[in-house]
Amino acid sequence: MKKTYQIAVFPGDGIGVEVIREALKILDVLAATANVAFEVRHGLIGGAAYDASGTPFPAESLDLALGSDAVLLGAVGGPKWEGLDYSVRPERALLGLREKLGLFANMRPVRVFDELVAASPLKPEVVRGIDIMIIRELTGDLYFGKPRGIRMENGQRIGVNTLVYTEEEIRRIALVAFETAMKRKKRVVSVDKANVLESTQLWRDVVTEVSRDFPEVDLRHMYVDNCAMQLIGNPAQFDIIVTTNLFGDILSDEAAMITGSIGMLPSASLGVTGGMYEPIHGSAPDIAGQDIANPLATILSVAMMLRYSCRMEKGARCIEAAVQEVLRAGFRTKDIHQEGTMLVGTAEMGDEVVKQFKNIKIAGNS
Which residue number, 177 or 293, has a Cβ lying nearer to ligand NAD? 293
Least distance from C-beta 1 to ligand NAD, angstroms?
A: 36
Q: Which of 141, 249, 277, 308 is catalytic?
A: 249
Which residue number, 262 or 300, has a Cβ lying nearer to ligand NAD? 262
Query: Is 253 labeled as catalytic in the residue annotation?
Result: yes
Q: Which of 25, 50, 165, 193 is catalytic?
A: 193
Q: What is the DSSP string of 62-112?
A: HHHHHTSSEEEEEE---GGGTTS-GGGSHHHHHHHHHHHTT--EEEEEEE-
Query: Is 225 labeled as catalytic in the residue annotation?
Result: yes
Least distance from C-beta 332 to ligand NAD, angstroms?
A: 11
Which residue number, 91 or 115, has a Cβ lying nearer to ligand NAD? 91
Which residue number, 103 or 284, has a Cβ lying nearer to ligand NAD? 284
What is the distance between the alpha carbons of residues 231 and 253, in angstroms, rounded to a whole number? 11
SS3 321: helix
Which residue number, 139 or 199, has a Cβ lying nearer to ligand NAD? 139
> What is the residue type of 147?
P
Residue 251 makes CB contacts below 8 A (sequence gap 6+) with 134, 191, 224, 227, 228, 231, 241, 243
Least distance from C-beta 94 to ligand NAD, angstroms?
A: 6
What is the distance between the alpha carbons of residues 306 and 319, in angstroms, rounded to a whole number? 10
Q: Is the dihedral of CA 356, 16, 316, 338 positive or negative?
A: positive
Residues in the chain: 366
Least distance from C-beta 336 to ligand NAD, angstroms?
A: 8
**E strands, the chain, in order:** 3-12, 36-42, 70-75, 105-111, 131-137, 149-153, 156-160, 187-192, 218-223, 240-243, 266-270, 275-279, 331-332, 342-343
What is the distance between the alpha carbons of residues 191 and 205, in angstroms, rounded to a whole number? 12
Which residue number, 64 or 297, has a Cβ lying nearer to ligand NAD? 297
Least distance from C-beta 150 to ligand NAD, angstroms?
A: 18
Classify residue 237 by its DSSP letter.
Answer: G
**E strands, 146-186, in order:** 149-153, 156-160
What is the distance between the alpha carbons of residues 357 and 306, in angstroms, rounded to a whole number? 14
Cβ 315 vs Cβ 143: under 8 Å: no
Q: Which of 131, 205, 218, 253 is catalytic?
A: 253
Q: Which residues in this chain contact ligand NAD in the complex, by CB under 6 A?
A: 15, 19, 75-78, 91, 94, 261-263, 278, 281-287, 293-294, 297, 335
Query: Is 193 labeled as catalytic in the residue annotation?
Result: yes
Which residues are identified as catalytic?
143, 193, 225, 249, 253
